[in-house]
Amino acid sequence: MSPFLNVLENQVQLICLAFMAVVYVLRLAWILHFRPVRERGLAQGDAGRGAGYALAGVALPGAMESIRRKPIFYAQFLLFHLGVVAAITATFIIPYAPGLFEKRLIVLAFQIVIGAACLAGILRLVRRLSDRRLRAVSRPDDYLSILMMILFFGAGVLAVPNHPRDGETALIAFFILTAFFLVYVPFSKICHYLYYPFIRFDLGRSLGHRGVWPPVRPGRECAPPAGRPS
Amino acid sequence: MRRTSESRSRQILDLPLDVRTQEKAKADKAPCVEEGRLATYRPDGRNVQRFLALLSKRMNRRLALSMTGCVHCGLCADSCHYALVFPDDPQMTPVAKADRIRKIFKRHMDWTGRIAPWWVGAKRPSDDADLNELKNVAFGLCSACRRCTFNCPMGVDTAGLIRFTRGLLTSLGIVPEGIFNVSRDQWDTGNQMGVSEADYLETLAWMRDEVRTELGTDAVDIPIDKDGCDFLYVINPREIKFDPRSIGQAVKIFHLAGESWTMPRWGWDNTNFGLFSGDDALGAFVADNVYEAAARLKAKRIVISECGHGFRSTRWEGYGWAGRDQDVPSESVVVSLERWLREGRLRVDPSRNALPVTFHDSCNIARSGGLTEEPRRVLQRVCSDFREMTPNRTENYCCTGGGGLLSMAEYRPIRLEAASIKARQLEATGAKLVCTMCHNCIDGLNDVIKHYNLDLKVVQVLELVDKALLV
Ligand code: SF4
Ligand code: SF4
């Protein structure tokens, strides 16, 4: 491994990671400095259950009409985010546990997951470009974020075999993109995952308190009223 | 029924600010205007500054999260009746509407937007014309139904952002005339229709006498300001002004159920235009009138008549606006009805309501109030042919008259165009009656029925229970 790649995989990543952590802490402090809102009415439901339901929303494709009607979009969402997890994991495995990528099956699994995410990313970009309603709300950040993710996944597929002896281009590209993301993400829309638990928790608590969430599921709704028949 | 005109939103965005009623209020020396509780438009070129100052001052964590959390995925687009009816108009999507305020937030408060505004589409309004356009989006292209909120995978509360924007604009007098007028009435008379105390008491007495005649007993009463009752009944001023039958039905049912109840002389309006105008101070004033009446009369609970936004405001939001924790329990009259039916205190014959009935969930009750099953249980007891509407409960479509839109005549044409979704949904039920527990929805649905020539009649839960009663 060249000294450049060595520094890139280790020191550069650590510095960028530290930078990202600092900015995330500042971001969270910023969001949390806003006055919280709380329900003051007597509870009709369970705030905790509501929050749980809201946070589980990502794994409940049937819960939201918008997702229920778009199963392919949900599949893309899953593949894309699984790819993110796999690619980020790879950035740690390569420098700190390279032995794992000596097993062909593990490498193949990572390549499939990251490759599928790359494909999902391309489909998302096509959707953003071809849907005029989406174009109307898309900013440079939206385009760059998805484009860079596609490149990141592409580089990830080539990098995970981790064979610097056969050429370092893929590894260098992968780690340069990783460093880029670590610095860029806190300022881009990609940091939505930082806010996600807070937004869902807050909305879920409020709706849970009011007895709106979890909603009545079909089949269990409208049980015959108890009590004496009139 | 799908419209393809992409310029439809432009026609709305270009509607001018009309301040004639504001001028009239000033000339009339309306107390709320004189005392500065209701703002009027000041064309002094400083409104953008004021807007930004208020934006910072009123921002809270929930709003900030909704401002920052949107990923522009566009999934909310197909949940909005405006966007569904105008699929080729990009300005009709919830995300596009919310982005109008989001871009200002980003430019004014968010780091990235302040450093590189062009990168994230951050932009401040330049002048009052921009604020007027924002007014037309926030008031004219959204019924604040919250359907998009429930369909956002991130949990972004677009309807909350719209209400927040409305509130900022209301504080500058950059509001539709209807919003200004109703706010004025509610500030100055304590009720949104400017009903005088004499009219209120006279109508109640009239309804009491009607029920006495119908039941043939003088034992029927509408106790005013009676201490220590089981519940305080608060109503929608529309019931006094246009539909007192619903008061008569309630009086009859309360009498038959053997309830101890009262109505307050002051603090009887359960509706709250603060919800629609985004004015938390008005919201607090109106809600507090009700809470104070309950405390003054030592009522054991507050019962709210059939009103969607009235229920949401009085049961939930009002405590936040008024900054007080709820001490007296409150419930919708439909919950009371369900209990009395269940306990056998009301005897009914469902065959008296033989026509097919469907139920329209009010947005404010289903999506923000957590009340979806009680009305169904009541309808299943008092009607012989109940049919669900699809979609229903928290997924139901707005009657399209929500968010105060019924008071804003300038947005009526586009509201009715967007209502084609609702018309189709109603028609598909095959019902002859559409029941709703909201006075606002009655007017909204009646508009839709008339505009689309549907063979349907709007009824309320109380009306159907009354009809099924075995006296
Ligand atoms: S609140 Fe309702 S009307 Fe407003 S943007 Fe959302 S879905 Fe559309
Ligand atoms: S669904 Fe939510 S995150 Fe997606 S565009 Fe709409 S508001 Fe934004």
Domain ranges in chain A are 3-27+66-205
Which residue is listed with tokens 């001052």? Answer: B57
The rounded percent of chain A whose pLDDT value lies above 70 is: 94
* B141: Cβ contacts below 8 Å, ≥ 6 apart: B9, B12, B82, B91, B92, B97, B411, B414
| Eight-state DSSP code of residue A34 | S
pLDDT value of position A226: 40
Largest CA distance in chain A: 86
Could you give all domains of chain B from N- to C-terminal order, each with its CATH number?
6-175 (1.10.1060), 190-341 (1.20.1050), 348-468 (3.40.50)
pLDDT value of position B6: 66
A189, B71 Cβ separation under 8 angstroms? yes
Tokens representing B283 are: 């919201």
Say if the Cβ atoms of A66 and B75 lie within 8 Å: yes
pLDDT tens sequence across B143-184 = 999 999 999 999 999 999 999 999 999 999 999 999 999 999
What element of type H or E holds A114? helix A104-130
Residue A219 has pLDDT above 50, yes or no: no
Angle at B323 between CA B273 and CA B169, to 5 degrees: 40
* B225: Cβ contacts below 8 Å, ≥ 6 apart: B262, B263, B264, B265, B297
Question: How would residue B5 be classed by pLDDT, with cut points 50, 70 and 90?
Answer: low
Question: How would residue A198 be classed by pLDDT, with cut points 50, 70 and 90?
Answer: very high
- The residues with which B436 forms a beta bridge, in sequence order, are B360
Tokens representing B194 are: 């400017």
- Among B81, B88, B150, most A C-beta atoms within 10 A, so best to mutate, is B150
pLDDT tens sequence across B323-363 = 999 999 999 999 999 999 999 999 999 999 999 999 999 99
Q: Using an 8 Å CB-CB cutoff, list chain B residues near A131.
A: 74
Tokens representing A214 are: 């979890």
For ligand 1, whether the C-beta of B159 sits within 6 Å is yes
pLDDT value of position A217: 63
Q: For chain B, report the end-to-end CA distance as a whole number of angstroms.
A: 47
CB atoms within 10 A of CB B189: 18
Q: Which residue's CA is the closest to the ligand 2 atom numbered 6?
A: B76
Q: Kindly report the nearest CA distance between residue A171 and chain B, in angstroms.
A: 29
Q: Please name the residue ranges forming H helices in B59-196.
A: 61-68, 81-85, 94-108, 111-115, 117-120, 128-140, 147-150, 158-170, 177-189
CA–CA separation, A104 and A162 (whole Å) = 11
Distances (CA, A) of B317 to A210, B54, B180, B324: 11, 21, 21, 11
Least confident residue range of A102-111, A214-223, B384-393: A214-223
pLDDT tens sequence across B105-136 = 999 999 899 999 999 999 999 999 999 999 99
Mean pLDDT along residues B58-82: 97
What element of type H or E holds A83? helix A71-96
Residue A220 has pLDDT above 50, yes or no: no
Superfamily of domain A3-27+66-205: Transmembrane di-heme cytochromes, Chain C (1.20.950.20)
Residue B231 has pLDDT above 60, yes or no: yes
Q: Using an 8 Å CB-CB cutoff, list chain A residues near B154.
A: 192, 195-196, 199-200
Tokens representing A148 are: 């860079």
Nearest to A154 by CA among A128, A119, A188: A119
Mean pLDDT along residues B64-87: 97
Q: Using an 8 Å CB-CB cutoff, list chain B residues near A41.
A: 315-316, 319, 326, 330
| Eight-state DSSP code of residue A214 | S
Burial class, B412, CB count within 10 angstroms (exposed 0-12 / middle 13-18 / buried 19+): middle
pLDDT tens sequence across B396-442 = 999 999 999 999 999 999 999 999 999 999 999 999 999 999 999 99
B161, B99 Cβ separation under 8 angstroms? no
Residue A29 has pLDDT above 50, yes or no: yes
- Among B120, B324, B362, B371, most A C-beta atoms within 10 A, so best to mutate, is B120
Q: What pTM value is reported for the model?
A: 0.96
Angle at B435 between CA B431 and CA B440, to 5 degrees: 130
